[in-house]
Structure 1
Amino acid sequence: MFYFILFILSFFLTYFIKNYAIKKSLVAQVNERSSHTVPTPHGGGIAIAITWFIGLVYLYFNSQIETNLFYALLVGFFISIVSFFDDLYELSPKLRLLVQALVAMLGLYFLGGFETLTFGLFDISNFIITNIFAFFMIIWFINLTNFIDGINGYVGSEFIFLSIAGFLLFGDSLFLVLAMAILGFLYWNFNKAKIFMGDVGSTLLGYNIAIISISYANNEPSNLWIWIILFSLFWFDATLTLIRRKINKEKLSQAHKKHAYQRLTQAGWSHFKVTNYSILINIILFLIVYFISNIFIAFCLCLILLVFIMKYIDKKKAFL
Structure 2
Amino acid sequence: MIYIIFLLISFTLTFFIKYYAIKKSLMAQVNERSSHTVPTPHVGGIAIAVTWFIGLFYLYLNYEIESNLFYALLVGCIISIISFFDDLYELSPKIRLTVQALVAIFGLSFLGGFETLTFGLFDISNSIVTNVFAFFLIVWFINLTNFIDGINGYVGSEFVFLSLAGFILFADAHFLVLGVSVLGFLFWNWNKAKIFMGDVGSTLLGYNVAIFTLYYANNEPNNFWLWITLFSLFWFDATITLIRRKLNKEKLSQAHKKHAYQRLTQAGWSHYKVTNYSIIINICIFSVVYLISNILISFIFVILVLFCTMRFVDFKKPFN
Aligned equivalent of 2:298 = 298
Shift of 1:92: 0.5
Aligned equivalent of 2:273 = 273
Aligned equivalent of 1:198 = 198
Structural mapping, 1:163-182, within 5 Å: 163-182=163-182
Distance 2:85 2:287 in 1: 39
Equivalent pairs: percent with the same residue?
76
Aligned equivalent of 2:37 = 37
- Partner SS, residue 162 of structure 2: helix
Distance 1:241 1:296 in 2: 24
| Structure 1: gaps spanning 5 or more residues | none
Q: CA RMSD in A?
A: 0.3
Structural mapping, 1:253-268, within 5 Å: 253-268=253-268
Distance 1:20 1:175 in 2: 29
Shift of 1:50: 0.1
Aligned equivalent of 1:160 = 160
Shift of 1:284: 0.3
**Stretches of 4+ aligned residues off by more than 3 angstroms:** none
For residues 199-246 of structure 1, give each alpha carbon's deviation from its aligned partner in whole angstroms, at most 9, with x where no partner exists. Answer: 000000000000011000000000010100000000000000000000
For residues 259-307 of structure 1, give each alpha carbon's deviation from its aligned partner in whole angstroms, at most 9, with x where no partner exists. Answer: 0000000000000000000000000000010011110011100110000
TM-score, with structure 1 as normaliser: 1.00
Aligned equivalent of 1:92 = 92
Aligned equivalent of 2:9 = 9
Aligned equivalent of 1:239 = 239
Asked if residue 136 in structure 1 is aligned to residue 136 in structure 2, the reply is: yes
For residues 64-120 of structure 1, give each alpha carbon's deviation from its aligned partner in whole angstroms, at most 9, with x where no partner exists. Answer: 101000000000000000000000000010000000000000000000000000000
Distance 1:10 1:294 in 2: 37
Shift of 1:54: 0.2
- Partner SS, residue 214 of structure 2: helix
Distance 2:190 2:154 in 1: 8
For residues 174-215 of structure 1, give each alpha carbon's deviation from its aligned partner in whole angstroms, at most 9, with x where no partner exists. Answer: 000000100000000000000000000000000000001100
Shift of 1:135: 0.2
Aligned equivalent of 2:22 = 22
Distance 2:80 2:128 in 1: 28
Distance 1:270 1:259 in 2: 15
AA at the equivalent of 1:189: N
Distance 1:19 1:95 in 2: 30
- Partner SS, residue 174 of structure 1: helix
For residues 45-66 of structure 1, give each alpha carbon's deviation from its aligned partner in whole angstroms, at most 9, with x where no partner exists. Answer: 0000000000000000111101
Distance 1:300 1:232 in 2: 11
Asked if residue 81 in structure 1 is aligned to residue 113 in structure 2, the reply is: no
Asked if residue 314 in structure 1 is aligned to residue 309 in structure 2, the reply is: no
- Partner SS, residue 143 of structure 1: helix
The total of aligned residue pairs comes to 320
AA at the equivalent of 1:92: S
Distance 1:68 1:264 in 2: 41
Shift of 1:150: 0.1
Distance 2:60 2:220 in 1: 22
Distance 2:62 2:189 in 1: 31
Distance 2:222 2:38 in 1: 44
Shift of 1:40: 0.2
For residues 10-64 of structure 1, give each alpha carbon's deviation from its aligned partner in whole angstroms, at most 9, with x where no partner exists. Answer: 0000000000000001000000000000100000000000000000000001111
Distance 1:60 1:115 in 2: 24
AA at the equivalent of 1:82: I
- Partner SS, residue 296 of structure 1: helix
- Partner SS, residue 91 of structure 2: coil
